[in-house]
Structures are given as C-alpha cells and as structure tokens.
C-alpha cells in the first residue's frame, strides 16, 4: 500500500503497510474524514514521522490521542498549532522545563522544533473525531504505533523514551531497556502532574544521557 510518509520510515514500516489490519484501518480513516470532522488534517496525520526521520530519532515521547478541538492537533503529541492556547498538559510540560532547565515558557505551543531536533512525538492513535476523545481507538492505530516503537527500539541505540502516565508506561514492554533509557512518571495533565510529573527532571536527564552517548542535547 502506498503511504505518504518520510522515505526511511517507509522502508522500515513497509511490512506493516501490507498487513490486512492496515488496509482495514485506512478504509476506516478515509470514511471517517468523508463523513465527519476529524483531526488532524489528512496531510498532517504522519507529521511526527515527516518532521523526525527514522535515522534522526533521539527521543520518543508517547501520547494517547490527538487533541479533539479545532485548530489544535497537527500530528505531534502534546503540541498545538501556533496561535492556539496551551492545553493544560502542555502548560505543565513547559512549567517543568522552566523549573528543570531555567528556560522561559515559549510564545507558542508548537513542538515542531523538538521534532526537527530528533524527538518523535508519537500519539498511540493518530486520528480522532472532533469533540469525541478516544473515538478512533482500537481501530488499528495502536497496532501500527506499537510496531513503530518496537522497530525504533530494535534498530536504533541509546534513545530516550519518555513514558508519562499509565497508558504510555504500558509501552515499556516494547522497548529494550538494555540499550535505551526509559524515563517514566505521572502524566502532565492537571489531574496527575502533582503526583510525579512536576519535578521529574526528565528534560535534563534526557539531555545528559544523550550527551553521554555522543549525541547532541535537545534545545527544549
């Protein structure tokens, strides 16, 4: 199946694109876009891959669903378009970066600059119906994104995986801890951030690990 995705990712994931579940998933997604409002825009579904090529990945951050409000989701987990108000989880992410690294809160909530530095900002489910959180779960996306995590773990070395919240932490079984760093904590949402996300110092820990293994730190 032809999928518009960055060339190195296409090579790594070509076997997934030929599996029956992926064809079923594509049919579901096409129908959903034709029949209702779905986020992100169709040409942004694979932005996480197109902004962060397979051989450039240094950090993997795992989310669950895209944002389901207008002008928010654009294919990168936790990120919103420039000019869009910060969702609560993103506010706490920026607060932790400020406390951890002393960096000021940025003017906008787009994390595209992280992606272009080697951060794979991967939601487990890559599409969602407007105002219907979880509406595209268990349609095949999780099967695909699990394969992505496993492939990155197998083929690359010395990456940092940030697993925030119980859902993301379940993905640890897909990651080889003998050659990667897993940083796990509570989710940055206001309901959980005070239970261990705030103060986790994941951003400085990630950069130190990258530097220790000959990689460039991320400018968070």
Q: Which residues are catalytic?
A: 65
- In which element (H, E) is residue 63 found? strand 59-63
> Looking at the DSSP assignment, which residues form a beta bridge with residue 203?
none
HEC profile for 6-59?
Answer: CHHHHHHHHHHHCCHHHHHHHHHHHHHHHHCCEECCHHHCCHHHHHCCHHHCCE
Identify how many contiguous H helices and E strands the chain contains and give both numbers. Answer: 8, 6
CB 98 within 8 A of CB 197: no
């Amino acid at each position: 199946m032809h999928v518009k995705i960055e060339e190195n990712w296409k090579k790594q994931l070509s076997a997934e694109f030929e599996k029956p579940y992926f064809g079923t998933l594509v049919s579901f997604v096409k129908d959903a876009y034709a029949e209702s409002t779905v986020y992100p825009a169709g040409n942004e579904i694979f932005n996480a891959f197109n902004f962060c090529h397979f051989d450039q990945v240094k950090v993997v951050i795992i989310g669950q669903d895209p944002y389901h409000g207008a002008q928010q989701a654009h294919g990168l987990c936790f990120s919103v378009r420039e000019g869009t108000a910060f969702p609560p989880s993103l506010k706490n992410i920026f607060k932790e970066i400020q406390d951890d690294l002393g960096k000021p809160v940025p003017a906008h909530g787009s994390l595209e600059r992280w992606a272009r530095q080697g951060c794979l900002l991967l939601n487990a489910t890559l599409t969602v119906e407007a105002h219907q959180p979880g509406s595209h779960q268990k349609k095949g996306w999780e099967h695909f994104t699990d394969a992505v995590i496993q492939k990155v773990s197998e083929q690359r070395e010395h990456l940092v995986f940030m697993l925030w919240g119980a859902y993301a932490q379940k993905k640890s079984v897909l990651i080889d801890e003998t050659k990667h760093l897993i940083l796990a904590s509570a989710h940055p949402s206001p309901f959980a951030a005070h239970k261990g996300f705030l103060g986790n110092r994941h951003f400085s820990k990630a950069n130190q690990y990258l530097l220790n293994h000959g990689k460039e730190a991320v400018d968070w």
